[in-house]
Each structure stands twice: as structure tokens, then as C-alpha cells.
Chains A and B, each alone.
Chain A
Amino acid sequence: MNIKATLAALLVTLLAPLPALAQGIDETINRIFADYTGWYVSFIFAPLPGTTFSWIALWLVVGALVFTLYFGFIQIKGFVHSIQLVKGDYSDPNDAGEVSHFQALATALSGTVGLGNIAGVAVAVGIGGPGATFWMVIAGLFGMATKFTECTLGVKYRNEYPDGRVSGGPMYYITKGFNERGLPGGKILAVLFCVFTILGALGGGNMFQANQAHAQLAGVIGDYPGWITGIILAAVTFAVIVGGIKSIARVTEKVVPFMGIFYVGVSLIILIMNYDMIAWAFGQIFMGAFTGLGVVGGFTGALIQGFRRAAFSNEAGIGSAAIAHSAVRTKEPVTEGYVALLEPFIDTVVICTMTALVIVITGVLNVDPETGLYVWNAEAGRIATEGEVSGVALTSAAYARAFSWFPVLLAVAVVLFAFSTMISWSYYGLKAWTYLFGEGSSKEVVFKIIFCLFIIIGSAANLGPVIDFSDAMLFSMAIVNIIALYLLMPIVKREVNSYIARLKSGEIKRFKH
């Protein structure tokens, strides 16, 4: 009895300082995180001399614009054909059982649709005002051409291994494509791309996801230390990617699309309930796009936020999608390019716009009743909101205005979205890792363990440093990838011209299903 009592007393004494210690860990991680990554983040988002426009946003937009013009607005001209391809109209029935266009698109989408659409949009609208939505949609529309280019190359230069595995990605099209064109530096760029992909996988594909999943859970359950969410998420991820418990991943992959459809469905219902305000909301979005509606940073603030969030959400130009799309079964690489261009459309033009409209319509952004302008919270650096929330909490608050039960469901959705994005990015990161260090189970396990550790860091760190670091890494991938796309786009052009000619001549046939 005495021993039991002593043990219990000892346990209480040992556990008592745990909450304080946990808080300490949080703060330490935050400090170290901000200290070590701050300089790189500042470099990536440095404004062009004499302006407030960051060079990296310009880099992505110019890229998307160049590909749009070079391929003659393929996202408009090829849109119907893209849908025919996803429906399987051009799929050989003898290839049944192989990866279909739909499956490649769905898997790529489950890696991109997620927190970018829920939290990212809220960040963009919260800082840039409703006008950010307009620029986000524009970036999404142009980004479709970028996705087309990178995914065509991803399939063209993929690897088919003797054991039947099929995989590819920018590191492979950079090396093989550069060799084909006799260009120097392919290997260096590919290595650089892989380094950024690994860091991007740990940043945007991991820490940002874990961080926002924790934010939403804490919002519903009540505040608690981030490392707890981190350890749980890390353990489940570990079970899937190291332990090989594929059933968890499979369940997530199946549930996530329905969550996505449900999210869009609820958004539509809220919009229908407020149908009289839709025109007004679009007005706010259009006016805000060019005037900023009094938001600090004005028009450029809206533009930068819109572009940043669009890139983060649909990943066009980042190169990650090229990895996901490369396993499709097709004899024509261009077909996957067509299919991939639907990704930014679904992700950014449809889903992000839904979120933005709901945030604007439900009135969670505080408006000064006298001037009719949004109230700026200078301290937080964003528009003042009810409860001073941002990110996923702002989206949650907006949807809760219509349905009080929504935050609970959103918490479940956010955790699942975060998890499926993490699974996808662990794969992208791993592909980059094996490109650098070679294949082999022990080498792969090292990366997977690092990946799981970063989930804990991501959950514990503050939103600011995490989002900035995530963005910086993803955009670094885009620097390398878009350079390669510029140099390899003539190859894609040749493929497209040949494909379209054969499509018109009837050589490429539609199959009757």
C-alpha cells in the first residue's frame, strides 16, 4: 500500500511540470525555427527594387503567362478534350487495370486540395482583402498551362523499372530532357530541385499541414500544446509510411474525395442561402482586385496575396504534380498534360473561390460601418475579424455563421486533408531523396523518420514562421522547375503538335465504351 502511495506521489511530482515544460518546448522550437529560416524566407520574398511586389510571385506568373501564350491558350482550347480524357473516352479498354487518367488526377488532387483551399484562402483574403480572390483565380487559370507543361514532361521522361514500377518527376525530365537537347547543367538543376523538394515536403507538405490541423483541433476541443497533435499525427503517419499499414492511407484516400465534395456542397448551400449577396460579393472581389478596398497594401497587396496562395494551393510550376501524374498508363504523354490542367481549375478556380465567397458573404471580416471599408488590424497585419482569427480558424468561423456544427466537421476534414497531403508529400519527398541517395530500404527509412519528426515540429511552431518557411521551400522548387520548363517547352510543343495532328487525322481514335 505504502509503495503504491509513494509511486503515485512520485508520478504526480514528475508530471506536474509537464504542461510548463511542453509550453517551453513550443517556444523553443518556434524561436529556433524563426532564427534559422528567417534569412532564407526574406530572400525568397524579397520585393523587386522600388516596389512591394516580390520577385518570386512575378516569376510564377510570368512563367504561367509564357506557357499560356506559347501553347496558344491550351487551357481554354483543350478544356473539353481534358474532360473527355478523364472520362476515359480515349483510353484503350485493353489497358483496364492500369492507372487511369482519372486515378492519376484524383491522386494528384488529393495532394493539392486541402489546407491550401481552406486555410490558405483565408490567409489571402484576411491580408489582401476580397480582391485577393480575383488574383488567385487569374493565377489559377494561367497556372493550368504550367501544369500542362510539367505533367506532359513528367510522363514523357518517367522511368519504367524492371519490376513494373513506374515513376517520374522533374528530376528525371530535367536530366533526360537536358541530355536530349544537349543542354549543360541538367544534373546540377535536378539535384537542386531534389534538395528543395525534400525541404518543401518537410515544409508545405508537412509542417504547414500539421500546424493547421492542430489549429483547427485546438479551436474545437480547446487550447492544448501543439506537440500532442504532432505526436499523434506523426505516429499515424509513421504507421503508414514506415510500418507499411496501407489500409490507413487507403481509407484516407477514399474518404478525402468525399470530404472535398461535401465541402463544396456545403459551400454551395451557404451561397444559395445567401444568393442575394453573391453579386455583391463578386463586386467586392472585382473592386478589391484593383483598388484594394482600403486594405493596406491596396491593389498590390491583394495581387501578391492572391498569387502566393494560388501557387501554394494548386502547386502549378512547383513540380510536385509531375511526380503524381507520371504513373498514368498512356502512350501519349500529352494526354496527361491535358488531364493535369484540370487540377488548378478544380483546386483554385472552383474550390478556392467557394471558400473566398463564403468568407466574404458571411461577414466575418470586420467592416467599418461609417466608411464601408474593412477594418485593418495593424498589429496582426491583417483585416480585423471576429475573435481576431486567421487561417483555418477564419474559414471555420465563416462557415459556422451558417451551420454551427460545421467547425467540428471541418476539424475532421482538416485533419484528413492534412493527413492525405502529408502522405502525398512524403512520397514526393522520398522520390527526391532516393534520386539523391539511391534506393534502399535503410536510406528510405531515414527520410521517413525525419518526415515524421517534422510533423511534431510543425504542430508546435507558430503559424507565421511555418507558413513562411513552407512557402519559401515550395517557391524554391518552382525556381528550378520553371527554368527547366522554359528550356524543355519546345519538346512539349513538338509533342502537342504531333498529338493534335493525329487527333485531327483520326489516327488517335475515341474508343466506344
Chain B
Amino acid sequence: MSSETFIVAYEGEKGDTPTLDYAIERAKKDGANLLVVHILEWSPYSFLTPDELEERHGRRKQEMARAKEIVLDPAVAKVKAAGLEASAELRYGSVVDKIVEIATEKSASMIFVGRAGSQSMAARVFGSVPIGLAQVAPVPTVIVP
């Protein structure tokens, strides 16, 4: 049994494949297990229409089921296929905050995050997930190009 846990911040997009592959490679070398983390961006201070309020509870269930099925399950299967121990974590909130929270909770020793998806104008102005993690992550963070 390995004592270390590595976190992979995983969006499930195509660009994330190298990140997951690299994390698997590093985890193998270090004998660590992998925790695949997927965060659904959410703010309790956003504004919704009355219809959206009514449907929110049902939508959340759908969103979580979809994220598990399409994003997390295949990633976990891939990690396990590589012969590593794998688990998954799905949460709602601000992506950077939640990854940091999970890293602290699970006493993770490293975070892997893809650089992909951070090229947009908005990301350059307001900061992206990798930049955010680089600034506030409590453990060494690897930004995978």
C-alpha cells in the first residue's frame, strides 16, 4: 500500500489526457495512488430564474450522474488499468478553492493540472485554474502542458 496520494484536477476534456497520463506515470514511479478530482463550477451567489430554482435539485442530480459517467468513471478505469489504486471526488464550487480543500482534506502530496483551457482571453485576464493553483495550492503542483 502506498502512503502518498496525488491529485489530478480533471475536466474530462481532450486536452486533459496528457495530464492524466503524466500523473499515472509519476504515480507509478513514486508508488502513489491517484485521486481524480472533477469540480462543477458553482457559486451559491449566482442569480437564477424562478424556473431554474424549481429545476435545480433535479438538474444537480443529472449533472452529477453525467459527470460520474462521462468524466470520472473512465478516468478511474484508466488509472486502475495502469495498475494503480484510484478513487474519484466530485464537488460543486469554485474550482481552485475546492481542489485546495480536497488536497488538504486528503493530505495529498502533489497536484497535477493541465495547462489546456487556460488560453482564453477571460482566463488571461481573470486567471485560470493552473495559475490559481500555482498561487494557492498547499502542496507542489505540476502544470502539464
A: residues with CB less than 8 A from B are 88, 91, 96-100, 102-104, 106-107, 110-111, 160, 163-167, 246, 249-250, 253-254, 256-257, 323-324, 327-329, 423-424, 427-428
Given that A111-B50, A253-B48 are known contacts, is A99 also in contact with B42, CB under 8 Å in the complex?
Answer: no
B57 at the interface (CB under 8 A from A): yes
Given that A164-B55, A165-B55, A324-B50 are known contacts, is A102 also in contact with B61, CB under 8 Å in the complex?
Answer: no
Q: Which of B6-52 contact A (CB under 8 A)?
A: 40, 42, 44-52
* Neighbour of A250 across the interface among B49, B55, B92, CB < 8 A: B49
- In this complex, what residue of A is CB-closest to B93? A96
B56 at the interface (CB under 8 A from A): yes
* Neighbour of A103 across the interface among B44, B57, B91, CB < 8 A: B44
In the complex, the answer to whether B57 meets A166 with C-beta atoms within 8 Å is yes
B59 at the interface (CB under 8 A from A): yes
A-B contact pairs, 5 of them (CB 8 A): A103-B44, A106-B47, A250-B52, A324-B53, A423-B49
Q: Which of B49-73 contact A (CB under 8 A)?
A: 49-64
In the complex, the answer to whether B57 meets A98 with C-beta atoms within 8 Å is yes
- Minimum CB–CB distance from B104 to chain A (whole Å) comes to 12
In the complex, the answer to whether B58 meets A163 with C-beta atoms within 8 Å is yes
Q: Residues of B contacting A253 with CB < 8 Å?
A: 47-49
- Minimum CB–CB distance from A101 to chain B (whole Å) comes to 8
- In this complex, what residue of A is CB-closest to B101? A93
In the complex, the answer to whether A102 meets B57 with C-beta atoms within 8 Å is no
In the complex, the answer to whether A107 meets B48 with C-beta atoms within 8 Å is yes
How distant is the Cα of A55 from the Cα of B119 in the complex, in angstroms? 64
Q: Residues of B contacting A323 with CB < 8 Å?
A: 50
| Main SS at interface, chain A | helix
10 A-B pairs with least C-beta separation: A164-B58, A97-B92, A100-B44, A96-B92, A327-B53, A427-B50, A97-B60, A253-B47, A99-B56, A249-B49
Q: Residues of B contacting A256 with CB < 8 Å?
A: 47
In the complex, the answer to whether B40 meets A246 with C-beta atoms within 8 Å is no
Q: Residues of A contacting B49 with CB < 8 Å?
A: 107, 246, 249-250, 253, 423, 427
How distant is the Cα of A249 from the Cα of B50 in the complex, in angstroms? 10
- Minimum CB–CB distance from B129 to chain A (whole Å) comes to 17
- Minimum CB–CB distance from A410 to chain B (whole Å) comes to 21
- Minimum CB–CB distance from A429 to chain B (whole Å) comes to 11
Q: Residues of B contacting A249 with CB < 8 Å?
A: 49, 51
- In this complex, what residue of A is CB-closest to B60? A97
* Neighbour of A254 across the interface among B47, B53, B58, CB < 8 A: B47
Given that A96-B93, A98-B57, A327-B56 are known contacts, is A103 also in contact with B50, CB under 8 Å in the complex?
Answer: no
- Minimum CB–CB distance from B110 to chain A (whole Å) comes to 24
Best-surrounded residue of A106, A160, A165 (most CB of chain B within 10 A): A165
In the complex, the answer to whether B45 meets A165 with C-beta atoms within 8 Å is no
Q: Residues of B contacting A100 with CB < 8 Å?
A: 44-45
| Main SS at interface, chain B | helix
* Neighbour of B61 across the interface among A110, A164, A246, CB < 8 A: A164
Instruction: Given A103-B46, A103-B47, A163-B58, output 15 extra A-B contacts at Cβ < 8 Å.
Output: A98-B57, A98-B60, A99-B57, A104-B53, A107-B48, A107-B49, A110-B47, A164-B55, A165-B54, A165-B58, A166-B54, A246-B51, A253-B48, A324-B53, A329-B56
Best-surrounded residue of A160, A164, A254, A257 (most CB of chain B within 10 A): A164
Given that A96-B93, A97-B60 are known contacts, is A167 also in contact with B54, CB under 8 Å in the complex?
Answer: yes
Q: Residues of A contacting B51 with CB < 8 Å?
A: 246, 249, 427
How distant is the Cα of A323 from the Cα of B91 in the complex, in angstroms? 29
- Minimum CB–CB distance from A161 to chain B (whole Å) comes to 8
Q: Residues of B contacting A163 with CB < 8 Å?
A: 58
* Neighbour of A96 across the interface among B42, B47, B53, B62, CB < 8 A: B42
Q: Residues of A contacting B48 with CB < 8 Å?
A: 99, 103, 106-107, 253
Best-surrounded residue of B48, B53, B59, B93 (most CB of chain A within 10 A): B53
Q: Residues of A contacting B42 with CB < 8 Å?
A: 96-97
How distant is the Cα of A14 from the Cα of B25 in the complex, in angstroms? 78
- Minimum CB–CB distance from A420 to chain B (whole Å) comes to 9
Q: Residues of B contacting A328 with CB < 8 Å?
A: 53
- Minimum CB–CB distance from A510 to chain B (whole Å) comes to 16
Q: Residues of B contacting A427 with CB < 8 Å?
A: 49-51
* Neighbour of A423 across the interface among B50, B59, B62, B64, CB < 8 A: B50
Q: Residues of B contacting A102 with CB < 8 Å?
A: 44-45
* Neighbour of A164 across the interface among B46, B47, B57, CB < 8 A: B57
Q: Residues of A contacting B45 with CB < 8 Å?
A: 100, 102-103
Given that A97-B42, A97-B60, A97-B63 are known contacts, is A103 also in contact with B53, CB under 8 Å in the complex?
Answer: yes
Q: Residues of B contacting A106 with CB < 8 Å?
A: 47-48
In the complex, the answer to whether A160 meets B57 with C-beta atoms within 8 Å is yes
How distant is the Cα of A241 from the Cα of B117 in the complex, in angstroms? 34
Q: Residues of B contacting A165 with CB < 8 Å?
A: 54-55, 57-58
* Neighbour of B40 across the interface among A97, A104, A160, A167, CB < 8 A: A97
Q: Residues of A contacting B46 with CB < 8 Å?
A: 103
Q: Which of B86-111 contact A (CB under 8 A)?
A: 91-93
In the complex, the answer to whether A329 meets B57 with C-beta atoms within 8 Å is yes
In the complex, the answer to whether B40 meets A327 with C-beta atoms within 8 Å is no
Q: Residues of B contacting A88 with CB < 8 Å?
A: 44
In the complex, the answer to whether B50 meets A96 with C-beta atoms within 8 Å is no
Q: Residues of A contacting B40 with CB < 8 Å?
A: 97
Q: Residues of A contacting B61 with CB < 8 Å?
A: 164
- In this complex, what residue of A is CB-closest to B94? A96
Q: Residues of B contacting A424 with CB < 8 Å?
A: 50
Q: Residues of B contacting A111 with CB < 8 Å?
A: 50
How distant is the Cα of A92 from the Cα of B3 in the complex, in angstroms? 30
Q: Residues of A contacting B55 with CB < 8 Å?
A: 164-165
